[in-house]
Amino acid sequence: EVQLLESGGGLVQPGGSLRLSCAASGFTFSSYAMSWVRQAPGKGLEWVSAISGSGGSTYYADSVKGRFTISRDNSKNTLYLQMNSLRAEDTAVYYCAKDYSSSSWFVGAFDIWGQGTMVTVSS
């Protein structure tokens, strides 16, 4: 069974840092691009960042560029999101999502989602 399991969320003060992880299982992790998508309380979905299957290409939304870093460890089947200089507006549930295409290139369409991890930025 294909599964994605996020972890690492929590309460952090403005200006602080947090590292999210997404453990993948049930598929050949390195063959698929992966993304982080967030959802602020009561709001819609917002794409945050993506990384190609090899990890050689990364993509960011303007709202997080320069503050967040996406990475992956294909030997551990794990996706990461390093979040620095956190702001109140970064408060959201963060989902990892798998591209449906096995090309390993980022196509920006998802077939599997994790259950999410909550990040709260507040003093």
Partner 1 sequence: NFMLTQPHSVSESPGKTVTISCTGSSGSIASNYVQWYQQRPGSAPTTVIYEDNQRPSGVPDRFSGSIDSSSNSASLTISGLKTEDEADYYCQSYDSSIYVVFGGGTKLTVL
Which residue ranges make up the site for partner 1 (CB under 8 A)? 35, 37, 44-47, 50, 59, 61-62, 95, 100, 106-116
Q: Which is nearer to partner 1, 16 or 109 (CB)?
A: 109
Q: Which is nearer to partner 1, 13 or 107 (CB)?
A: 107
CA distances from 21 to 43, 98, 103, 123 (A): 23, 14, 23, 23
* Dist CA 85 CA 72 (whole Å): 21
CB 40 to partner 1: min, Å: 12
89 phi and psi angles, rounded to 5 deg: -75, -5
Q: Which is nearer to partner 1, 18 or 48 (CB)?
A: 48
CB 72 to partner 1: min, Å: 17
